[in-house]
Structure 1
């Protein structure tokens, strides 16, 4: 399988999607921020000095999805129709789930992955004063639909 972002000379280039018809597309990505149980307790109880860590992570994830082409050089600017950021907690972690949708000639996998990544970084920023040992891990594409390659589920 050839890489689509590399031309015949091996040079990086932005793929031309101008002739592709717009279709409904959706992608979901996730990632985990692992931390001390006491840190998660502070988040849940609203006891962090910086404020509501999950609200900040949610807004930063939404903003990141919209700014993806500014951060990832070969991504196309897309008319994003929705970005949803959800959280699931365990005893010592927060799972971040980002779902991004559009109707466009190319998909939103990178937007979902960027949303999760930046939300995780923002969450780390909110908790680092009490838990510098927190770990960001397992950022991955969970599912994507639409387009020529069809439906993918991890």
Structure 2
């Protein structure tokens, strides 16, 4: 049943993003599971993803994107391994307004980077939209439409040279 819901969510996002109002020519609609399984394949690409956003307070205190709510619900259970996720981060750093998107099914746009010490990071473009049922709603967080190419190059160098430490 959960798999059917995921497939419906992806199809809904595909159809909504194909409409003239929601169409983005530079963000590739991608399945979050595929990105989490093989992130190197998507590194440096502009992606449009869907998943469950959850703010996890602690060592890294970040808004992260999970495949579904069930994964985020069990984060404090020591008997279950940490589920794969990616950090949602504006180019200019964490903003409190990101918390408006926590604990919601969302549609996100951004550029994916692999950081040896932090893991997967999606630097946000456009923002984060809440998904309600089969409809993509308004932005719960809005940011710049497109990260400038020079900034992307700087981010790529930064993430590639980050020291590797445990997450």
TM-score using structure 1 length: 0.29
TM-score using structure 2 length: 0.27
Select the structure of larger CA radius of gyration.
Answer: 1
Higher relative contact order (CA 8 A, sep 6+): 1
